[in-house]
Amino acid sequence: MDFRSLIVYQKAFALDMRIFEESKSFPAEERYSLTDQTRRSSRSVCAIIAEAYRKRKYPKHFISKLSDCDAENAETQTWIDFAYSCAYISKETKNEFLEASQEIGRLLNFMINNPGKFGAGD
């Protein structure tokens, strides 16, 4: 199985692409702050899932990477809150993004708590 076939990766990738499209409308003065930070943290979720999956032979490393991933996901939620508070996204968009991010967090935590189901240690 490839990391791209993981539901958590697919959901994280879809959220990242939605964030990318939405952040295109952020003001130019936010390019190197809010826009960049939001995109980086949401992209990191996908990248770290891929890294963790490749390290699944080592369960502790797998879990550690997934924990880092969960932290990046939480960071993304913070940037979403800022985007809403600065009136760059609607309440509906904020809620959509946060719901997706929370689902990703639940999936990550399932992986953290059940590493053997993902081939960790094989």
- Average pLDDT score over the chain: 96
Looking at the structure of the chain, the number of domains it has is: 1
Q: What is the pLDDT of residues 68-93, one digit of tens each?
A: 999 999 999 999 999 999 999 999 99
**105 contact partners, CB below 8 Å, separation of at least 6:** 70, 73, 74
Could you list the residue range(s) of the whole structural domain that residue 82 is in?
3-116
Phi/psi for 88 (5° steps) reads: -90, -20
Chunked into runs of 10 residues, the chain (122 residues) has average pLDDT values of 94 98 95 94 98 94 97 98 97 98 98 92 74
Please tell me the pTM assigned to this model.
0.94
* CATH number, domain containing residue 79: 1.20.1440.60
Helices then strands, counting H and E runs in the chain, come out as 4, 0
Instruction: Answer whether residue 122 is part of any domain.
Output: no
Would residue 72 count as lying in a domain? yes
Within a domain: residue 121? Answer: no
Give a yes or no: residue 30 inside a domain.
Answer: yes
Q: Does 14 reside within a domain? A: yes
